[in-house]
Amino acid sequence: MDSNATPLDRLRRPRRGRVLLAGALGVLGAITALTVSVPADAAESTLGAAAAQSGRYFGTAISAGKLGDSQYTTIAAREFNMVTAENEMKIDATEPNQNQFNFTNGDRVYNWAVQNGKRVRGHTLAWHQQQPGWMQSLSGSALRQAMINHINGVMAHYKGKIYAWDVVNEAFDDGNGGRRDSNLQRTGNDWIEVAFRTARAADPAAKLCYNDYNIDNWTWAKTQGVYNMVKDFKARGVPIDCVGLQSHFNSGSPYNSNYRTTISSFAALGVDVQITELDIQGASPTTYANVVNDCLAVPRCNGITVWGVRDQDSWRSGDTPLLFSGGNKKPAYDAVLNALNAAGPNTSPSPTPPVSPSPTPPVSPSPTPPVSPSPGTSPEPGGCSATISTVNSWPGGFQSEVTVKAGNSSVNGWTVSWTWPGGQTISSLWNGTQSGSGSNMVVRNAPYNGSIAAGATTTFGFTANGSAATPSLTCTRA
């Protein structure tokens, strides 16, 4: 979520039962949550420090454009120990023109965070919104490859520096719990899996999260749809480490007492849970305390991020949903701090990652360097050659890239063929058209990449089932 997003999408719950006000919900455990007495010598005085006592974080969304506001930065630097860039690491900000990356504002947020001793969450790599115009104009395999290139380019720039990435954002529909119809979804139902596998190869140290709104209530179809996807991914070895619950609670999508069931059910699949964009209409102290206590009750709930510092910074400022009004702490702040201080010592099942590395000056944009091929390469009789390299591999599958190069004259159509050595099968292909059967593979050019100038190259890629292999390739001109 952000100030640029359209609020109606997030504030609406389609065709559910009666609407309840968020501020009136969450009665269970409220009295305990608000009246727990904490010994003075054990209590921390800031949200981040209080959360750290149980091995968790308490973070906020930061906007680069507000880093010149001293009230804003004073509160943010004092209170939070995790930062998410509000808009500055999204697709339109980081790749405004295809293959031309711009990290100026993303680095401003990142550098401010680490200079103030905070870790950073990355948000977001693949999303149907806030795509630049060039990406919106693509479809099919060209869009699929652009998504892969974007993930590689952004994660390469921040490799080893980001605690967790929201790899895919808001890919499920609000109505029936199925996939959202989007340009990315229309590239093939495996696009989310490809995004996660690409992200794992790009930065193996980062936690990889799926992030969505309206998946807080355990009974909703959308929650169950995401749950089933994560369950499937874990069963098949698709690399997913965490689920992000945005938790934008309001009268159309209110807090429900089964929220803890949702958190614990996702955690039981073997993933962490992170509350990634919390804001609550009216900032009910009771509801804020209940959310915190629900997270604290589940060891794999790593932490909480509120979506903004002060009410005036919120994308829904009219709802006064945050913990600060101007420079003043609201009653909800005290409720959250008391709940965090009441938690026992470190209950996190996994060690807290180290603080992100010290900042470095922004790096001039450059395309993602190619992976060094470990190839089967064809000669150039017939006017073209083809080289295959393994980009990524995992138990039971792998991702490869093939480079097709024209010889000393131009090519106006090409075909690459090979024989699999051990029963491998392609599961997804982009920038080419697959034919052949069994172990004998044939890939022809797509309609848009058949013409190659003399000495120039084009590429196609695929994911496949089986053990990674680099067979000998044959390239022929059409």
Task: Convert the pLDDT of each residue in 171-199 to its tens digit.
Answer: 999 988 899 999 999 999 999 999 999 99
Residue 452 has pLDDT above 50, yes or no: yes
Residue % of the chain over a pLDDT of 70: 81
Radius of gyration of the chain (CA): 24
Q: What is the DSSP string of 39-64?
A: -TTT--SSHHHHHHTTT-EEEEEE-G
Q: For position 32, what pLDDT does the model report?
A: 36
Q: Are 162 and 122 spatial neighbours (Cβ–Cβ below 8 Å)?
A: yes
Q: Picking from 135-139, 159-163, 372-376, 466-470, which range would have the lowest pLDDT averaged per residue?
A: 372-376
Give the tokens for residue 72. Answer: 């804003």
Output helix, strand, coil percentages for the chain, rounded to the nearest 5.
30, 25, 45
Q: For position 355, what pLDDT does the model report?
A: 40
Residue 418 has pLDDT above 50, yes or no: yes
What value does the mean pLDDT take over residues 233-249? 97
Residue 377 has pLDDT above 90, yes or no: no
Q: For position 130, what pLDDT does the model report?
A: 95
What is the spatial distance between Cα 165 and Cα 455, in angstroms, rounded to a whole number?
38
Q: For position 206, what pLDDT does the model report?
A: 97
Q: Picking from 79-88, 315-324, 388-397, which range would have the lowest pLDDT averaged per residue?
A: 388-397
Q: How far is CA 436 from CA 18, 360, 444, in A?
A: 56, 50, 10
Q: Picking from 44-53, 326-335, 446-455, which range would have the lowest pLDDT averaged per residue?
A: 446-455
User: 459 pairs with which residues across the strands?
Assistant: 403
The per-residue pLDDT for range 284-317, each reduced to its tens digit, is: 999 999 999 999 999 999 999 999 999 999 999 9
Q: For position 213, what pLDDT does the model report?
A: 97
Comparison of pLDDT for 351 and 99, the residue scoring more = 99
Number of H helices, E strands in the chain: 13, 21
Give the tokens for residue 178. Answer: 């199925």
467: which DSSP letter? S
What value does the mean pLDDT take over residues 367-393? 59
CA nearest to 57, candidates 79, 72, 26: 79
Report residue 47's pLDDT band, with 50, 70 and 90 as the boundaries: very high
Q: For position 338, what pLDDT does the model report?
A: 97
Report residue 165's pLDDT band, with 50, 70 and 90 as the boundaries: very high
The per-residue pLDDT for range 318-341, each reduced to its tens digit, is: 999 999 999 999 999 999 999 999
Q: How many residues does the chain have?
A: 478
Residue 384 has pLDDT above 60, yes or no: yes
Residue 23 has pLDDT above 80, yes or no: no
Residue 240 has pLDDT above 50, yes or no: yes
Give the tokens for residue 337. Answer: 């701090």
8: which DSSP letter? H
Q: For position 37, what pLDDT does the model report?
A: 44
Q: Which residues are catalytic?
A: 170, 277
Q: What is the pTM of this model?
A: 0.69
Give the tokens for residue 156. Answer: 């390469």
Residue 357 has pLDDT above 70, yes or no: no
The per-residue pLDDT for range 58-73, each reduced to its tens digit, is: 999 999 999 999 999 9
Q: For position 392, what pLDDT does the model report?
A: 67
Question: What is the average pLDDT value for the chain, to the nearest integer?
Answer: 85
Residue 378 has pLDDT above 70, yes or no: no
Residue 282 has pLDDT above 80, yes or no: yes
Q: For position 227, what pLDDT does the model report?
A: 97
Give the tokens for residue 459. Answer: 């590429």
Residue 18 has pLDDT above 60, yes or no: no
Q: Are 129 and 170 spatial neighbours (Cβ–Cβ below 8 Å)?
A: yes
Q: Picking from 221-225, 390-394, 473-477, which range would have the lowest pLDDT averaged per residue?
A: 390-394
Q: For position 345, what pLDDT does the model report?
A: 66
Report residue 381's pLDDT band, with 50, 70 and 90 as the boundaries: low
- Strands 82-85 and 57-62, how do they pair? parallel
At how many degrees (to 10) do helices 221-236 and 191-202 cross?
Answer: 50
For residue 124, say if its preceding peptide bond is cis, omega within 30 degrees of 0. yes
Q: For position 308, what pLDDT does the model report?
A: 98
CA 194 to chain centre: 13
Within 238-372, strands assigned E span: 242-245, 248-249, 272-280, 301-306, 324-325, 328-329
